[in-house]
């Protein structure tokens, strides 16, 4: 079912709000946000953060439940995020020595964000 332009804008605003909440949550945990909504030819990275030598590519999902948020990160979306991370990092030679991690941050109404660290590992 196609979304109306009004509904699409509402969902977009909600997604941006969730990304701001997730970024603030990461900053509170000692991460430094390097990029937000980073666009690459293969897709967008919601958040890229760094803490020490660790580079985190975080996918943010705003959903009514934790289960719905986690199921929103499909194998297809994981591959797209991995490819986008490779492209984004290839342009940042200053981050060449960093370890990588892929996280999911679920933003659920009325609850603190749920930060699932190391949510998946890229397939070899």
Right CATH for 5-120 from 3.40.1350.10, 3.40.1790.10, 1.10.1500.10, 3.40.50.1970: 3.40.1350.10
pLDDT digit string, tens, across residues 42-55: 999 999 999 999 99
Give the global pTM. 0.91
pLDDT digit string, tens, across residues 101-115: 999 999 999 999 999
pLDDT digit string, tens, across residues 51-72: 999 999 999 999 999 999 999 9
**Given CA atoms 9, 75, 109, 64 in this order, what sign does their dihedral have?**
positive
| Cβ-contact 54, 98 below 8 angstroms | yes
Q: In what order do the strands lie in the sheet with 99-107?
A: 32-40, 43-51, 54-62, 99-107, 114-120
Residue-range domain boundaries for the chain: 5-120
């Amino acid at each position: 079912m196609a979304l109306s332009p009004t509904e699409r804008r509402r969902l977009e605003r909600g997604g941006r709000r969730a990304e701001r909440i997730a970024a603030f949550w990461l900053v509170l945990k000692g991460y430094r946000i390097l990029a937000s909504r980073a666009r690459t030819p293969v897709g967008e990275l919601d958040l890229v953060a760094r803490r020490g030598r660790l580079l985190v590519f975080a996918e943010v999902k705003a959903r009514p439940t934790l289960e719905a948020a986690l199921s929103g990160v499909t194998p297809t979306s994981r591959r797209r995020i991995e490819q986008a991370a490779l492209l984004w990092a290839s342009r940042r030679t200053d981050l060449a020595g960093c370890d990588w991690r892929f996280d999911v941050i679920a933003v659920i109404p009325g609850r603190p964000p749920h930060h699932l660290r190391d949510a998946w590992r890229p397939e070899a």
